[in-house]
Every structure is written in C-alpha cells, then in structure tokens.
Amino acid sequence: MQWSTIEQQLINRGLQPHQARELIWGAISSETLIISLAAPMAENQLLEGDIPHENILASVRAMIGSGLIITMPAAVSEENTPPTLFAYAQIIAATRETLYLISPYIDDKGVGKLFSPLQEAKERGVYLKVITRETAKHQLSRTRGIEALFSMFSRQIEVRDYHTEAKGLAHHTSVHAKLIQADNQIGYVGSAELRGNALEKNFEMGAILSPEQAALSLASFKAVWEIARKVVPRNK
C-alpha cells in the first residue's frame, strides 16, 4: 500500500492532512508500521501494516486538547475552520467500536458536513447509538438527517427517542443534552448538536471530556437509553 493511500484513509477518517502525515512518520519511527522499503518516505513508497488505533487516539487527544471548543459566528470571525466541526470529526476518527451521539435535533446538513468521517467509521465496523427527540414530527430537514444516518450505517445503528408528554403539556421531560463520544475514551459535551448551523455558523461552546468524565457520561447515556423509545427507519 502506498503511504499516500494510508494518508488519504486517515484524512477520510477525519484527521487533518498534517496530522495524518505526522501519524505515519510517528508509526515509522517507532516501528509500529512496517516499511517494505528502507528508503526515505516518498510518494510511491509502499508500506505494510496498519497504524495502531492507540496512536490515532493519542493524536486526536493532542490535536483537540482538553479545553474549550468554541465556534464563533461569521459576523465575528472570518476564519473558515470551525473548531466544533473539527472536534466532531476528530472524535468520530477516534472511535474504535461504538460512537455515542446525543442530539435533540439532527438535520441533513449536519450529517453531510461529517459524511466522510462517518462513512469511514461505518466501513471500519463502528456501531452508532443515537438519542434524540420527537422523531415523529414531520420536519423535513430532521427527517432527512435521521434517515441519512440510518441509510449510511445500515445495520450498525440504533436510534432512540426520549421525549414524554403529560396531561395538557406537550413537553413534560425530554432530551436537551448534546454529546458525541468515542467509546468510553474521549467526547465533546456542549451546546452544539448535529445540525449544519450548530457545527459551523452559530455561536457554540463546549468542552472535551477526559477519560474519567467520558466514563461518567457513558453511564448517563446508558441510563437514558434504557427508558427511551426505539426508533425505526420510516421505510420499514
């Protein structure tokens, strides 16, 4: 396999180009990636083996750190590199087995902006678990967003709806949290959900979870998951 092919696979996974290249160099120097040719890395050089997932997770941690993730509105910032979108992509890239998502609203634009890392996650066997709300409402963008995830992940996805009503109240208790988490290792919690505007246009703020915090958020996720209603694709 050419090193440029490995680099592209890492970029598809959600890593930045310079980060992917640093990972390859790091794997070569630590002999965790076996090189078939001993010459310096060149465009047509062939490599054997895979970069260990632990290296990818460590790289993701280094890139997004443990501080605040902030997206500024376009009226304030001219930069076109929204940190929230970047953080979402990096967390998807760091997922080995299960990607946990809590998003009250999901739209097709949000799914589209993360299409490549989500598709790559599906192809490497990642299972997606989603908690959302009011899926029976026929809002076109929301319907398309959830259906896009169902279509992409096929049998590797389960969606649950947490929203209850009471006498005379259309909204009794519901999900309002926003979370995206890779296994029990690293995640983001904050104001941004899986919507196009939330990922790159709104003023959003959140934080990256430590492993200890990720364990607690996963326990909370599982508790709500057990009482939430299972959602099936509309075409079934």
Q: Specify whether domain 66-231 bears CATH 3.30.870.10.
A: yes
CB 224 within 8 A of CB 162: yes
Between the alpha carbon of residue 54 and those of residues 15, 27, 104, 236, the distances in Å are 14, 11, 31, 38
Please name the residue that has the structure tokens 């992940």.
Answer: 153
Record the pTM: 0.84
Residue 125 has what pLDDT?
94
Residue 153 has what pLDDT?
96
Tokens standing for 73?
Answer: 């509105």
d(CA 73, CA 190): 16
d(CA 52, CA 58): 10
Residue type, 171: H
Regarding beta strands 179-182 and 169-174, do their DSSP bridges make them parallel or antiparallel, or are they unpaired? unpaired
Q: Is the dihedral of CA 33, 16, 218, 158 positive or negative?
A: negative
Q: DSSP states of 158-193 as a string?
A: EEEE-EEEETTEEEEEE----EEEETTTEEEEES--
Per-domain boundaries in the chain: 3-51, 66-231
Helices (H), the chain: 3-13, 17-29, 53-64, 83-93, 108-113, 115-123, 140-153, 196-200, 211-227
d(CA 91, CA 86): 9
d(CA 153, CA 124): 11
Regarding beta strands 127-132 and 98-102, do their DSSP bridges make them parallel or antiparallel, or are they unpaired? parallel
Of 67, 71, 24, nearest to 45 by C-alpha is 24
d(CA 120, CA 14): 9
Mean pLDDT, each 10-residue run in order, the chain (236 residues): 76 80 72 48 60 82 84 71 85 95 95 94 95 82 87 96 76 89 95 94 92 94 96 79
Residue 32 has what pLDDT?
59
Regarding beta strands 186-190 and 204-209, do their DSSP bridges make them parallel or antiparallel, or are they unpaired? antiparallel
Residue 39 has what pLDDT?
42
d(CA 24, CA 37): 14
